[in-house]
Structure 1
Amino acid sequence: MMDKAGGGPGSMMFNLGKSNAKVYVKSSDGIKFSDVEGVDEAEENLQEIVDYLHNPEKYRELGARIPKGVLLVGPPGTGKTLIARAVAGESGVTFLYTSGSDFVEMFVGMGAARVRDLFSEARKKSPCIIFIDELDAVGRSRGTGIGGGHDEREQTLNQILVEMDGFSTDKGVIIMAATNRQDVLDDALLRPGRFDRRVAVELPDVREREAILQLHFAKVKTDSSLDFKKIARATPGSSGADLANLANESALLAARNSKPFVTMSEVEQARDKMVLGVARASMIMSPEAKTATAYHEAGHTLLHYYVEGVDPLHKVTVIPHGYALGVTISLPEDDSYSKNKQELLGRIKTTMGGYVAEELVYGQTTTGVSNDIKQATSIAQRMVTEFGMSKLGFVNYSDDDHPLFLGRDINQRKSFSEETAKTIDEEVRNILDSCLSETRKILSEHRRELDRLAQCLVERETLDDNQVREIIGLGRTSKNSDLFSDSSEKPLI
């Protein structure tokens, strides 16, 4: 009994220090660069690694040293892990996959033991690629945790640094890692000689989204009228994982409706489901609550037509989605990578539309405006403290430099005086007051359109851009309503 309880030969105790890395052995049908779309620049950066693993002598004769470590950096869902597997597939070498959290263990010293075992296994399987996913789980800056410099995570990180120092690419082993939090990584990890090369894997642009959509919808039965250019333009800010999910959700909707193939209708419904959450069409709202929600959303909607610098409206609905009783969706006409002051002020005004509409119609507001207030305040604060869009000018007062992984309450500090803090508050208040005043003026001047739009929302529940334009008398001229359907046809929803 003692033998079993203490960890005899058949016990899991002896495996605690073993690496949990998954081994993908080289094969002829492995993932290749042709299976990955939307990351052209990353592929170009990694072709050198592939060539080295194929022809190491070419580099050795020239005295060139291939990067010991390659760090893939980018938002979640952009395909960092897939690219790493494609490098292994193109090279025809063994791929050792592990996650940063796999090294975290309740027993002291087990994380470091697993690191040693992983690198030992890699030497035996050379040539190969070690891939550590979510590196930030174990590689964040030392000395910032509550436990000081002697917690288990930091001992594990120290062992990774030691192993990388004692490693040589001459052995045919390349270390790759992925993170979406490069800012939290320890500086020692990022220095030359460890992760020498950093490859950005960003969100795809419209052309790359089209290629990704074609790749994923190739596995789905689709209608010949499916227009990937329109879908790509209607999904700004989507990652590769989002688009893969869009293809799958569209197929599920078609199957649920017993359709033989996926049409643009299913794609639009799937996209709305992903963006808004599942519609709660069965939720019973009183006529008064539905009317109040309609006025709130109508306030947001009208401002898209009377405020400069805002993205065009795509759709407005008073059908509850998730925790929201109604939603107003806008879509940029092109991919946007920065915003000017006019665009940010326009964004603040549109978030105020629901608040002002409730105030104008009922003389009071509801708790439904809380998220709108939060968004507007956040934008105004960043305009003042980060973007230099106030009388404070070219100076940064944001609090991004606080020590990582400490609670903000524990580490509350300011790098500026109380007088400056008061000026920041005043500037934020001035921006919000100015925007609120203009929003009240716009909706007061267009009160008749507000009433008509709210009434139509109560009756029809969902309106697209062209329908809104007809209601308020602007005519059907927008491109955004035609992303999924012909403007001459009846709207899909």
Structure 2
Amino acid sequence: SPAIIFIDEIDSVGRTRGAGLGGGHDEREQTLNQILSEMDGFEPHESVVVIAATNRPDVLDPALTRPGRFDRQITLDMPQKQARAKILAIHTRAVPIDDDVKLDKLAARTVGFSGADLRNLVNEAALLAGRRGKEKVQKADFDEASDKIMLGAEREEKIDQEERRIIAYHEGGHALVAKLLPGTDPLQKVTIIPRGRSLGATEQVPESDRHNLSRSYLLDRMAVALGGRVAERLVFNDLTNGAAQDLKTVTAFARRMVCQWGMSDKLGPMTYNQGEEHVFLGRELAQSKDYSEHTAREIDQEMRKLILETEERAQTLLSSNRRKLDKLAQALLVEETLSNAQIDRLFEGMENEGDGKHGKRLDKIDQHDGELAVSHAGLPGSGNGREKEGTDET
């Protein structure tokens, strides 16, 4: 002493003893017992500080967290917007950035990024700028680096015209529902370029870091997620497996709304244990279910009701805005990626068509209206803290 002892991933040796599938583990439990013994052996005035880190505090043995041992718990959340801006300022000190890069806007767009993610973002953007022979890192470099980190590397893959058309309508369905629902997060962009495991993506960025999720907001999120599937059925009178991840997202939201957040009118303000703990991570193999089979059926019915009502809502929105959906899909087939501002200009042009006026429109779309522009490029997948409704790869 004086000394600081830091134990990373303490849950690897500090899990609850005798729990989980397979029961106890002699070596691990002996290690835990020795740690507990050593922590009790310090003299009152010895200058030894023991610090441990874990992302699973719920599986730790109670003997570790009682007073006199690890009795002070500090929760480290992901950095908020102001903190992200300061972290970006630190990592860009040695990087020449262009005047078009606004760190506060970049911080707002990187919801859910950790400090390491932000450092990686700056490094990737600098590498891209260097490969292109630029003297300064520009906003376009940060945008592409963000896509690569969150959505995966761009794939050079040729997709036939009919599949591209399906993907364009699928992503157009997500994007149009997002535009039509004011309660959901603002649309950032939509693309049909393959990246990672995704064939297309619709990206939304929250205006601020959210801590509370309202029922109406969750229903809007579900409607956006179902927009792709609804668009496929509306246009092609058929369905593909491209909505697999969307359905997982919607089902997870519905289950939590009914079972954890008390958002079911029929079941009321109650929570229902689902026994979803992993038995290998220090939980008991046999977990009791705290509701009857009749209640289980009611839970299923309420979840199905929420999902079907939300799907019908998305169906109504897209059916009543079919011309916009067609126009958006055609634009995606030509441009492959559209920003929120480009979509606004596209729809503004449509609204002015009937009275002889000409709104601002994308030049390339004006020239190739209705064509299936064949191209091969790359698209985004999902991101930390961001919302992405993507077309799954077969």
TM exceeding 0.5: yes
What secondary structure sits across from 1:244 in the alignment? Answer: helix
Could you tell me how far apart the structure 2 residues matched to 1:301 and 1:403 are?
36
Could you tell me how far apart the structure 2 residues matched to 1:302 and 1:169 are?
65
Following superposition, the deviation at residue 174 of structure 1 comes to: 0.6
Structure 1 residues 351 and 407, CA, compared in 2 at 3 Å: closer, same or farther? farther
Identity, in percent, stands at 47
Report the more deviating stretch, 303-312 or 244-253.
303-312
- Say which of 19, 24, 32 aligns to 1:149: 24
Write out aligned runs for 1:21-40 (5 A).
Answer: none
Indicate if the aligned counterparts of 1:184 and 1:404 stay in contact, CA closer than 8 A. Answer: no
Partner of 2:319: 444
* 1:200-246 deviation digits (Å, cap 9, x = unpaired): 21111111111000011112222244311111111111111110111
Indicate if the aligned counterparts of 1:319 and 1:462 stay in contact, CA closer than 8 A. Answer: yes
The answer as to 2:262 corresponding to 1:388 is yes
Could you tell me how far apart the structure 2 residues matched to 1:374 and 1:174 are?
44
Structure 1 residues 407 and 167, CA, compared in 2 at 3 Å: closer, same or farther? closer
| TM-score between both structures, scaled by the size of structure 1 | 0.68
Partner of 1:350: 224
The answer as to 2:240 corresponding to 1:366 is yes
**Aligned residue-pair number:** 352
Partner of 1:205: 80
Partner of 2:215: 341
Could you tell me how far apart the structure 1 residues matched to 2:43 and 2:72 are?
15
* 1:331-382 deviation digits (Å, cap 9, x = unpaired): 0111111110000000110000010000011111101111111110110010
The answer as to 2:327 corresponding to 1:327 is no
Structure 1 residues 241 and 431, CA, compared in 2 at 3 Å: closer, same or farther? same
Structure 1 residues 328 and 406, CA, compared in 2 at 3 Å: closer, same or farther? same
Could you tell me how far apart the structure 1 residues matched to 2:82 and 2:147 are?
21
What secondary structure sits across from 2:74 in the alignment? Answer: strand
Partner of 1:237: 112
What secondary structure sits across from 2:232 in the alignment? Answer: helix
Structure 1 residues 138 and 387, CA, compared in 2 at 3 Å: closer, same or farther? same
Q: Which amino acid aligns with 2:193?
A: I
Indicate if the aligned counterparts of 2:15 and 2:282 stay in contact, CA closer than 8 A. Answer: no
What secondary structure sits across from 1:405 in the alignment? Answer: helix
Indicate if the aligned counterparts of 1:403 and 1:411 stay in contact, CA closer than 8 A. Answer: no
Partner of 1:311: 185
| TM-score between both structures, scaled by the size of structure 2 | 0.85
Partner of 2:43: 168
Higher RCO, 1 or 2 (CA under 8 Å, sep at least 6)? 2
Structure 1 residues 302 and 401, CA, compared in 2 at 3 Å: closer, same or farther? closer
* 1:260-296 deviation digits (Å, cap 9, x = unpaired): 221111111111111111111x210001111110000
Unaligned runs of 5+ in 1: 1-125, 476-487
Partner of 1:465: 340
Could you tell me how far apart the structure 1 residues matched to 2:295 and 2:44 are?
52
- Say which of 65, 90, 94 aligns to 1:215: 90
What secondary structure sits across from 1:457 in the alignment? Answer: helix
Partner of 1:92: none
Could you tell me how far apart the structure 2 residues matched to 1:246 and 1:189 are?
37
Partner of 1:417: 292
Following superposition, the deviation at residue 410 of structure 1 comes to: 5.5
- Say which of 4, 15, 34 aligns to 1:159: 34
Partner of 2:53: 178
The CA RMSD over aligned residues, in Å, is 2.2
What secondary structure sits across from 1:170 in the alignment? Answer: coil
The answer as to 2:121 corresponding to 1:246 is yes
Following superposition, the deviation at residue 402 of structure 1 comes to: 4.6
Could you tell me how far apart the structure 2 residues matched to 1:307 and 1:408 are?
41
Write out aligned runs for 1:121-140 (5 A).
Answer: 126-140=1-15
Q: Which amino acid aligns with 1:434?
A: E
Could you tell me how far apart the structure 2 residues matched to 1:313 and 1:474 are?
19
Could you tell me how far apart the structure 2 residues matched to 1:190 and 1:144 are?
17
Partner of 2:162: 288
Unaligned runs of 5+ in 2: 351-361, 365-378, 380-394
What secondary structure sits across from 2:183 in the alignment? Answer: coil
Structure 1 residues 244 and 393, CA, compared in 2 at 3 Å: closer, same or farther? same
Following superposition, the deviation at residue 308 of structure 1 comes to: 3.8
Q: Which amino acid aligns with 1:455?
A: Q
Q: Which amino acid aligns with 1:200?
A: T
Could you tell me how far apart the structure 1 residues matched to 2:241 and 2:276 are?
33
What secondary structure sits across from 1:198 in the alignment? Answer: coil
